[in-house]
Every structure is written in C-alpha cells, then in structure tokens.
C-alpha cells in the first residue's frame, strides 16, 4: 500500500473555497424555507424544490453531452440517494421550520458531521476515526451547544421539530457515505445530481397530489415564488453539483464539514435580509466551530502515530 493510500485525505485550497460556497448556498436554503412555509405546506415546498432543480439540470445535461443512465442498478442507487439526501431530510427540515426558526434549524443540522464520522468509521475503510477528528467533532459539538444558547433546547419548546432536524442530520450523514458509490461507478456528478433529483420528484409527486392538493392554496406571492426558485436553482441544483464534486475529491467526512459552516451562513443571511441580531454567543460558537474544522482537517496540529495517519483504503 502506497504512502498516499494510507493517509487521511486533507482538503485542498480549492476544496475549501467550494466548501464555503456550498455553505452559503445551503445556509440560504433555511432562509428560503422560512419564507415558503408561511404560505405552502411541507411536501409541496420540497416537491417544488427538487422538481425545478431536476428540470434545470436536465436542461444542462445536453450542453455537456451527458445522458441519463439506463441501467436499473444505477436507478436503484438514485432511489436510495433520493430518499437519504432529498426526500427525508428536506421534508423533516421544512416541516420543523413551521415551528422553529431557520437559525435554530441550521444549528441542529450542524450535528451531521458527528453522525457522519461515526457512520464512516463503521461503514468505510478509508474514513476511519482518528484522534484529530474526534477532537474536532467534540469542538464542533461544543460550538453548536454555545450557539444554541440558554433555553433553546428547552424540552417544552418545539422538541418534536428539533428531533426532526436531528433525524434529518442522521439521514444526511448516511447519504454522504452512500454517495461514494457513484464515483466507483464512474458516473458524472451532474448526472448523479439530475438522476437523484428526478427520482425525488417522481417519489414526491403522487404523494403531494394525494395528501396536500397544492392547487387549493391559490397562487403564491412573488416573495414565496422567489424563495422556491432560490431553493431549486441555488440551494439545490448548483449546490448539488458542488456537493458531488467535493465528495469525490475530499471524502465523505470532509464534505460534511460544510454543516459546521451552515449556521454562520444562515445567521449572516438573517442579519442582512431579516435584520436579525447577531449575539455574542453566536460569534463565540462560530469561533469554536472554526477550531473544530481545523482539527478535523488536520490543520490545527499535525497527526502523529498510526492512530491518526494510517487507514485501510477502500479504493
């Protein structure tokens, strides 16, 4: 086994830039959700998000000379990825945001790397838990706890919605691990995004028609339509292209670091767009999260010993 194969992957400067962009796009999704839930039901919002995003990517495929696969095994993989990375977490988070703030939802979503590190350690051979990553996860969890603040996890206040956000984080974690198979299958990332979103739309369409009958809600306002378009084109179509690009080059655990950056992005957007106030505990929490990011990435201090530097490779 070569030296390159035995080391945990470290993110390149390009990976970090793409990760920051992705965090802004996904941070904005909480803002868009918060606007849309004022007028539309949960599954209708999710269907609009994945449906418009799938349509936009389908229009892009011919430009790159990409065709959707016809093999049944690929579409079975799209089915499971659609459930884990779209249908389940999107629905849980949108539903939760009908009773909790977008900032709180994004903070709870930042628990995803904790679940991902544990899942990757059990389910993969090249994303094993190291001392640095364990320390980084602990720091990240402390940062999230600080950002939650006093009383925000009060069991009397929206506990079901908070648990829904945590369940969505678990789903995202498994999606990050499951998505690795598309690169072993040599499937173009844009094709993966388009196929997954198409499958999500196919799954949700009959459910929405039967359960929510969205035509009964009338024509949404311009603000809501703009939020849906932003969800679909920016926070989904473009974001998923970046998602699979980073997954291929940096690995599942490093990719899910984006959820540490989503709360600061969501809070910043709330500050600019909704005139929300950024309090000291949120600033402190973001600083601790940054330390956690550096620890997991290996930049806070170098890894030493086999516990940190050597892993079995799955490639």
The candidate with the shortest Cα–Cα distance to 257, out of 12, 9, 23, 30, is 23
215 DSSP 8-state letter:
G
How many other CB atoms are found less than 10 A from the CB of residue 245?
A: 18
In 246-272, which positions are buried (b, 16+ CB within 10 angstroms) versus exposed (e)?
Answer: bbebbbbbbbbbbbbbbbbbbbbbbee
Sign of CA dihedral 252, 60, 261, 249: positive
The span from the CA of 46 to the CA of 25, in Å, is 16
Query: How many Cα atoms occupy the beta-carbon half-sphere of 85 within 13 Å?
Result: 29
Average pLDDT of the segment spanning 272-298:
71
C-alpha to C-alpha distances, 295 to 113, 130, 257, 300, nearest whole angstrom = 13, 10, 11, 5
Res 106: pLDDT: 83
Query: Is 249's pLDDT higher than 60?
Result: yes
Please report which confidence band the pLDDT of residue 306 belongs to, taking 50, 70 and 90 as the band edges. Answer: very low
Q: Are 179 and 81 in contact (CB under 8 A)?
A: yes
68: left (phi over 0), alpha (psi -120 to 50) or beta: beta
Query: Is 140's pLDDT higher than 70?
Result: yes
Q: What is the pLDDT of residues 83-93, one digit of tens each?
A: 999 999 999 99
Query: Is 123's pLDDT higher than 90?
Result: no
Higher pLDDT, 184 or 39: 39
Polymer length of the chain:
315
Query: How many Cα atoms occupy the beta-carbon half-sphere of 196 within 13 Å?
Result: 28
Res 314: pLDDT: 30
Residue with tokens 């080059």: 249
The whole-model pTM stands at 0.80
The candidate with the shortest Cα–Cα distance to 194, out of 44, 42, 81, is 81
Res 14: pLDDT: 87
Query: Is 241's pLDDT higher than 90?
Result: no
The candidate with the shortest Cα–Cα distance to 134, out of 311, 309, 295, 260, is 295
Q: What is the pLDDT of residues 41-58, one digit of tens each?
A: 999 999 999 999 999 999
């Amino acid at each position: 086994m070569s030296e390159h194969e035995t080391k945990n992957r470290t993110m390149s400067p390009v990976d970090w830039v793409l990760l920051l962009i992705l965090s802004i796009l996904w941070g904005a999704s909480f803002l868009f959700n918060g606007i849309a839930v004022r007028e539309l039901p949960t599954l209708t919002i999710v269907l609009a998000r994945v449906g418009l995003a799938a349509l936009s990517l389908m229009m892009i495929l011919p430009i790159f000379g990409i065709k959707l696969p016809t093999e049944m095994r690929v579409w079975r993989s799209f089915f499971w990825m659609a459930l884990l990375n779209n249908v389940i977490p999107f629905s849980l988070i949108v539903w939760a945001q009908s009773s909790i703030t977008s900032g709180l939802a994004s903070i709870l979503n930042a628990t995803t790397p904790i679940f991902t590190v544990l899942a990757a350690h059990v389910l993969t051979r090249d994303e094993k838990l190291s001392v640095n990553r364990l320390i980084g996860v602990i720091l990240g969890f402390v940062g999230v706890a600080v950002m939650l603040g006093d009383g925000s996890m009060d069991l009397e206040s929206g506990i079901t919605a908070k648990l829904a956000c945590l369940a969505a984080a678990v789903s995202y974690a498994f999606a990050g691990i499951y998505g690795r198979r598309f690169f072993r299958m040599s499937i173009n990332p844009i094709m993966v995004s388009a196929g997954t979103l198409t499958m999500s739309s196919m799954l949700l369409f009959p459910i929405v028609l039967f359960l929510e009958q969205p035509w009964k809600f009338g024509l949404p306002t311009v603000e809501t339509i703009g939020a849906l378009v932003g969800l679909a084109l920016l926070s989904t179509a473009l974001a998923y292209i970046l998602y699979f690009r980073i997954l291929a080059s940096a690995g599942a655990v490093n990719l899910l670091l984006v959820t540490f950056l989503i709360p600061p992005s969501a809070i910043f957007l709330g500050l600019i767009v909704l005139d929300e106030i950024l309090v000291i505990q949120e600033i402190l929490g973001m600083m601790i999260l940054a330390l956690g990011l550096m620890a997991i990435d290996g930049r806070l201090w170098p890894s030493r010993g086999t516990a940190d530097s050597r892993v079995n490779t799955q490639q």
